[in-house]
Structure 1
Amino acid sequence: MRSGRIRLDRAVVQGFYDRMRVVASAAYGAIERDRAEDPGRPFVETACGRLASSLDPAGLRALGMWAHHWCVRFYDDDTRVGVRLVRQIAGRSGLGWTPDEVRWLLDQSYAAGPAAAHRFILPRAAAAELPPGTLPEWGDDVPELPRLLAG
């Protein structure tokens, strides 16, 4: 991880990328289709909405991680559709986020820097599902983290 706060096992991180790769093609296509259509459509009627509703919790977490990674770090075009997807996934509870997934999301968010205003949407929601004290290494040297995670 680039932040230096905590090192995730290389195999764990590779597993994240492998899981994200499974949904990447469909996610990219859905985002592109939705960018070309009416942005005011209800989410469930969009390509992203149909994709999200077709996935189990593990697949939805992978989609969320991919969308977060893509929209926060790389997407230099219109990000409204991607951010909407991230917000919709962040609004779903009970997805079973793991501490390692949340650490990875947080690392990606910090690496994106403050220019990415939406960078804590998904990590905040995912961290809220973890038991208190699960991420102490982030709270110790990042004084603003409790505020960021609180909303």
Structure 2
Amino acid sequence: MSDPNKVGKLKRSYLLHYIDASFGGATPEWFLIGKHISDMSVNLNPSTEVIKNILDETVTNDNGYEPSIEANTYFADTNDAIYPKIKDISMNRLTGDACKTKVLEVIIDTDGATHDAWQEDCIVKPQSYGGAQGGVNIPYNINFDGNRKQGTATISDRVPTFEPAAA
């Protein structure tokens, strides 16, 4: 018998990625990524090192992950909360803390109102700007930067509210 709270095979739209368009503001302004994107994944970029020692033993060192997202299509839209900052970073070649914000990942795998979520610091870096006829494209990368917190999110009108798990 199946669990009535489970949703079955997850549609891609059940894995949501947001970035905080306030870039360090007191209250997050979550921008949902994906409007013009047909394919996007979190690249975990696992880092392992395999060493064969002088005793002919193989040792594997697990150095963790360096996750990132390539948002290959972002058509500049003055109505998007993220647009002013993406424009500022790319046109003024900003670096360091000026590019730092938070990413929020929400997975909708139950019928409930509360969903598993993870928030983490990140660096947002536009890769280019311009593109073909049809719109100004500013593709950007999101590099996860630690301080990952697990919690839950509720979503109302596509706007999430994140609640970190108790420590």
Q: What band does the TM-score fall into relative to the shorter chain?
A: under 0.3
Q: Judging by fraction of residues, say which structure has more strand.
A: 2
* Greater gyration radius: 2
TM-score (norm 1): 0.28
Normalised to the residue count of structure 2, the TM-score between the two structures is 0.26
Whose helix fraction is larger, Structure 1's or Structure 2's?
Answer: 1
